Amino acid sequence: MSSSARIEDQLREKIIAEPEVILEDQDVMRALIAANERSMGGNIVDLRGIAMERLEARLDRLEDTHRSVIAAAYENLAGTNQVHRAILRMLDPVEFEVFLRDLGGEVAEILRVDTVKLVLESVQNDEDPAVKRLGDVLSVAEPGFIDGYVTGEQGAPMRAVTLRQIDEGDAAIFGDKAGYVRSEACLRLDLGEGRLPGMLIMGSEDPHMFTPQQGTDLLAFFAGVFERAMRRWLS
């Protein structure tokens, strides 16, 4: 017995003074439990050890969930700040053409999308000079086009915001960038009583930028601000 290893007095006093140091170290606790099981022999089932293993597994799962919740909260906060900055930039212009051009410029950059297009339904053609000047941002379509574009058929129910992945964008909307668009957000716009609807489309080369599983609250808020700004310009 005298030859068996002993804990150094200084270490022993440290453990006695601060036992939580041992309890909080998972690796040390596992080693102590394993040593205790070996000392009891193979014919004894240590229910306490089994319970501790299950508690450790449950704690690990809770920690993973906790980290996921925190990450999601930070992501939501970043997304909120992003949309707020885009809205403030969108409201800066005092001229309508600048307002629209900014959509495809600084507003798109803030939102980190590759392209932003505004589609307006009209019974007139798109030969208007203003439409031609803003052709890189603005498209004019016949009545019913928006519902058909989003739902695949005219008259079908349409959500305020539709997020989806696509093989490529529609050339009539995205122009020469259509071949690079892999996901899009379609924001339906109510431009006021007596006016045909509009649609704001955000396109991205990233197929995971917009997917049906994502929340739409922030984009719905952005669309609400945009359509109210449009109503003032059109009045």
Structure confidence at residue 60 (pLDDT): 77
Answer whether residue 133 is part of any domain. Answer: yes
Answer whether residue 1 is part of any domain. Answer: no
Answer whether residue 138 is part of any domain. Answer: yes
Domain end call among 21, 43, 60:
60
Whether 32 and 85 share a structural domain = no
Structure confidence at residue 224 (pLDDT): 92
Whether 73 and 186 share a structural domain = yes
Question: How many domains does the structure of the chain reveal?
Answer: 2
Answer whether residue 146 is part of any domain. Answer: yes
Contact between residue 119 and residue 173 where contact means Cβ atoms under 8 Å apart: yes
Whether 114 and 197 share a structural domain = yes
Whether 149 and 215 share a structural domain = yes
Structure confidence at residue 128 (pLDDT): 56
- pTM: predicted TM-score of the whole model, two decimal places: 0.66
Structure confidence at residue 87 (pLDDT): 92
Whether 16 and 127 share a structural domain = no
Whether 83 and 190 share a structural domain = yes
Whether 77 and 52 share a structural domain = no
Answer whether residue 137 is part of any domain. Answer: yes
Whether 131 and 212 share a structural domain = yes
Tens digits of pLDDT across the chain (235 residues): 444 456 777 777 877 787 777 777 777 777 777 776 666 665 555 666 667 777 777 877 887 777 777 766 667 777 788 889 999 998 888 888 888 888 888 999 999 999 999 998 887 655 555 555 666 788 888 888 888 888 875 555 567 899 999 998 888 888 888 899 999 999 999 988 888 889 999 999 999 999 998 888 889 999 999 999 888 887 7
Whether 78 and 42 share a structural domain = no
Whether 46 and 141 share a structural domain = no
Whether 169 and 223 share a structural domain = yes
Whether 92 and 162 share a structural domain = yes
Domain end call among 19, 37, 60:
60
Answer whether residue 16 is part of any domain. Answer: yes
Answer whether residue 120 is part of any domain. Answer: yes
Question: Residue written as tokens 């994502």?
Answer: 214
Domain residues for the domain of 14 are 9-60
Answer whether residue 4 is part of any domain. Answer: no
Domain end call among 24, 42, 60:
60
